[in-house]
A and B are shown apart, each in its own frame.
Chain A
């Protein structure tokens, strides 16, 4: 039995000619989990995702999504997964409602069309031609088409590229509500904040392998890394100190200044710091 893993990958290998795009990748995504794949361009994120979606054939390793091998999976399997691919540019001479209704027709147990449009925040745009939508609205429509079949596993490949901050936050709410509804989500993204906000666990891919995998707040040992304590001394100005025991240091400082430490900050490495360090190592 597959346990409660929705996606299980071991030793995945994919070559394009002489270059190795995915080089022995292992991965497990639990049912109901939101899992983020991070990595620079060309790291193998999209190749991996497309193998899981059944778009590409692998050269080695084992892959199982919802208990089936995507390479040989049937229509019934397809009806249980949803795909939001990277940058599609198909524009339809159809209205939002028409296209969502049409896509619902491919699935045995689709979500209600009105509900899907509401969920992705396109309510009120039902009668608008998709060619007249803004970039962000088009992306929401892509998500609508990805979830209208009521998938158990949803693949999101760089879903918020080109979004303004407000649109991104609204989008995150949508993904959270899908997660609450029990959908397993595999998210590929360039935005580390997005992974931090949404993902239960995140993996960093570099050179076709996973170089770190954990909860975003612990990724790459972030939670254990030494902290930087900063304060401003009335005489010396801005001061910083690295410390593995920041609480102790702050207590000493508090004693020195007789109470409040002026301009106190305590920071650990950001996800971005850790990420850059991780992908730097592999190069």
Chain B
């Protein structure tokens, strides 16, 4: 073994001097990517306003339609639809945001430029994940603060619920971002990406029990909805904002935290495996 290694080094000749130069680590480059993406994101005022106004607008709409308590309980409605807004907001930033950004990165040759750099591809993906985690977190904080201040949302009362909030948000956003990477890897450009993203996003909102009880759907739609991550994200967020007595209204009669983690993780791993195979760094025929 050591002889082979020696010959390898000798063969390199003048490359030997360069062996001493350390290439930046994949993790350091991912952080650097996230930094530069966030800096650009926060400088695009329209995108910032749209992303961060989303939960506020939804709150205004739902808050003015559904006043009072959930029927037959003393739990305010706001506890219920806050979970749905948190889930769809997370999905919007993760899925839609990432898919459109990646498709745009490809059509304007950002991806091609990055491919020509000494950067491991995973740094690009991790950088995207990190940057949407930050912007998603800002959006979630805005939702919580605005809802608590103006719509009487009761924030989670125990450390356990805060911890649930953190992992549901992180895993949910990670799942959506990975799906966004997979889809953005296939779409032609930013415009076609937003067109491709919208139908699944809309359909999923209907069959995942975002703003009304999952139990009201027929068994077929429920079965389909339960395959996709949004249903589990909503259920997870409900377990943060609603009292445990509401578990009985879930399809399984329980919050199913363990199953939620497993399903979201499966989507992340499966999505990454698909993305790594199908991801295209250049448009077809791009010279």
Binary per-residue interface labels of chain B (18-56) against chain A in the complex, 1 for a CB within 8 Å, 0 otherwise:
100111100001001000100110011000000000000
Taking residues whose C-beta sits less than 8 angstroms from the other chain, chain B's interface range is 20 to 34
A276, CB-defined interface residue at 8 Å: no
Q: A93 and B117: CB pair below 8 A? A: no
B116, CB-defined interface residue at 8 Å: yes
Would A94 and B40 be within 8 Å (CB), given that A55-B112, A85-B109, A88-B109 are in contact? yes
Number of interface residues of A (CB under 8 A): 31
Q: A102 and B117: CB pair below 8 A? A: no
B115, CB-defined interface residue at 8 Å: yes
B44 contact set on A, CB distance < 8 A:
93
Q: B108 and A89: CB pair below 8 A? A: yes
A83 contact set on B, CB distance < 8 A:
113, 116
Binary per-residue interface labels of chain A (44-62) against chain B in the complex, 1 for a CB within 8 Å, 0 otherwise:
0010000001110000000
Majority DSSP secondary structure for residues of A touching B: loop
**Distance of B179 from chain A, by nearest CB (Å):** 24
- Which of B23, B113, B117 is the most central at the interface, judged by chain A CB atoms within 10 Å of its CB? B117
A111, CB-defined interface residue at 8 Å: no
* Beyond known contacts A79-B21, A85-B113, A103-B117: 20 more, CB 8 A cutoff: A1-B13, A46-B287, A53-B116, A55-B282, A75-B23, A78-B118, A83-B113, A85-B112, A89-B108, A90-B108, A90-B113, A92-B40, A105-B24, A105-B32, A106-B29, A106-B117, A107-B118, A108-B18, A145-B113, A149-B118
Q: Please, could you name 28 A-B residue pairs with CB atoms under 8 Å apart, sorted by A?
A: A1-B13, A54-B116, A55-B112, A55-B116, A67-B15, A75-B119, A75-B120, A76-B15, A76-B18, A78-B118, A79-B21, A83-B116, A86-B287, A90-B105, A90-B108, A90-B109, A90-B110, A91-B108, A92-B40, A98-B36, A98-B39, A106-B117, A106-B118, A108-B18, A108-B21, A109-B21, A149-B117, A149-B118
- CB within 8 Å of A: which residues of B? 13, 15, 18, 21-24, 29, 32, 36, 39-40, 43-44, 105, 108-110, 112-113, 115-120, 282, 287
For the complex of A and B, the 8 pairs showing the least CB-CB separation, nearest first, are: A108-B21, A78-B118, A79-B118, A93-B43, A75-B118, A90-B110, A83-B116, A88-B109
